[in-house]
A = this chain, B = another copy of it.
Amino acid sequence: MTERVVLAYSGGLDTSVAIGWVAEETGAEVVAVAIDCGQGGEDLDVVRRRAIDCGAVEAVVADAKEEFAGEYCIPAIQANSLYMDRYPLVSALSRPLIVKHLAEAARYHNATMVGHGCTGKGNDQVRFEAGLAALFPELKVVAPVRDSGMTRDKAIAFAEEKGLPIDVSKKSPYSIDQNLFGRAVETGFLEDIWNGPIEDVYSYTDNPAEQREPDELVVTFTAGVPTAVDGKELSPLQIIEEMNRRAGAQGVGRIDMVEDRLVGIKSREVYEAPGAMALIAAHQELEAVTVERDLARFKRGVDQRWGELVYDGLWFSPLKGSLDRFVAEANRHVSGEIRMVLHGGRAVVTGRRSESSLYDYDLATYDTGDAYDQTMARGFIDVWSMPAKIANLRDRQQG
């Protein structure tokens, strides 16, 4: 029986060519697998047909948008995860989802190999292959772009030679990866890090500098999960879409940064993630209201590590699993409403309301009704400052 390879398929030039390229290289039959994580673009049926037309023996397409929203984006919000304090892990979140579907398809179709179109200097090759090593380590990886010289020029030549039904003429100057949670853009002129991005780079967000009316809304969270906007209950997918639309219209969520890649180099990246950035801002503020101080302080380190692991391709790792338990427990009481104003590129929280608030007006107020026992402060300060006091005395004596 002929061997089979499942190929992560996008419908674009590179992976369309890869169908034939991989088939020739390996002698195997190619099963194309396309996953809709909300990247938009063509209809899944069109994508499926193109895969077949390009030589795939099977083409699996799956609408995984709800799954992506609920099982990948929501945990990222609960962990406030911003790699390097800025990047909400857009591409890094979708890779384990795709890997999961690839592994399932490989089992179903008895594949012995898996193919992807990643280059050898990006993070995504690691995320794909580390994910596959975790879920289905027996699969052999085929990576034509990285390992067998399938450059863009050669891909175009291959497509023309084989008469593949792909339009090779339209060449975008941008290298783009996008999904429900955001959009990443790389391009030649941004590789000079002194150059600023131009408006043409953006697609999910309108120009924040343009004059327009602010948009005020209220997001409801239940145990750290956004569950409603302006009182209307929505699924995770619907909420992220709604927030993308409204925050995007106000220019919220543009990110321009130099980033530490897992593969050892720094790279320039431009992102747009309007819904993600607005929802994380809202979630952080609701945590400030409902999470106890020591837990909040420790959680910052957990959130950082969670984001690093996901960025680093270790979604399916034991540490990720244990951090997930911490994050879930810490979110248990993160319920309530956050009012925000979206405007001019900013998502600004202006109000918080929660049944499980730890903010206590009676303790906080300076008005009459103050319930805080101020006579306790003196003892607290005395004990609190004692270790540093003793050390400073010693330091002065020791000179």
Contacts and interface: CB of A to CB of B under 8 A. Distances in A.
A304 interface: yes
A391 B137 CA distance: 11
B265 A360 contact: yes
A292 B319 contact: yes
A267 B304 CA distance: 25
Interface stretch (A1-9, A19-27, A63-71, A184-192): A184-192
Contacts of A390: 264-265, 292, 358, 360, 363
B289 A381 contact: no
Contacts of A299: 322
A256 B376 contact: no
A247 to B, nearest CB: 14
Interface string A318-353: 110111111011100100000101011110111111
Copies in the complex: 4
B377 A376 contact: no
B256 A349 contact: yes
B383 A135 contact: no
B352 A387 contact: no
A161 interface: no
A322 B329 contact: yes
Contact of A119 (B325, B374, B376, B397): B374
A159 to B, nearest CB: 20
A18 to B, nearest CB: 16
B388 A292 contact: yes
Given A260-B296, A391-B358, A175 B377 contact: no
Contacts of A343: 209
Nearest to A341: B196
B258 A146 contact: no
B301 A263 contact: no
A126 B289 CA distance: 23
Contacts of A172: none
Interface stretch (A42-50, A226-234, A237-245, A308-316): A308-316
Q: How large is the interface on A (under 10, 10 to 19, 20 to 34, 35 or more residues)?
A: 35 or more
Interface string A361-399: 101111100101111111111111111111111110110
A12 interface: no
A394 B85 contact: no
A268 interface: yes
Contact of A366 (B186, B297, B373): B186
A266 B364 contact: yes
A295 B317 CA distance: 8
Contacts of A391: 134, 292, 317-318, 358
Given A385-B133, A389-B133, A355 B398 contact: yes
Given A383-B263, A385-B134, A322 B295 contact: yes
Contact of A384 (B130, B186, B316, B367): B130
Given A119-B374, A358-B391, A129 B367 contact: no
Contact of A372 (B192, B265, B352, B357): B265
A95 to B, nearest CB: 13
Interface of A: 84-85, 119-121, 125-126, 129-130, 133-135, 137, 146-147, 175, 186, 188, 191-197, 208-209, 211, 214, 254, 256-260, 263-268, 284-285, 288-289, 291-301, 304-305, 308-309, 313-314, 316-319, 321-326, 328-330, 333, 339, 341, 343-346, 348-353, 355-361, 363-367, 370, 372-395, 397-398
5 contacts: A264-B386, A264-B387, A301-B301, A318-B330, A346-B346
7 nearest A-B residue pairs (beta carbon): A379-B379, A120-B374, A264-B386, A196-B350, A130-B385, A380-B383, A325-B325
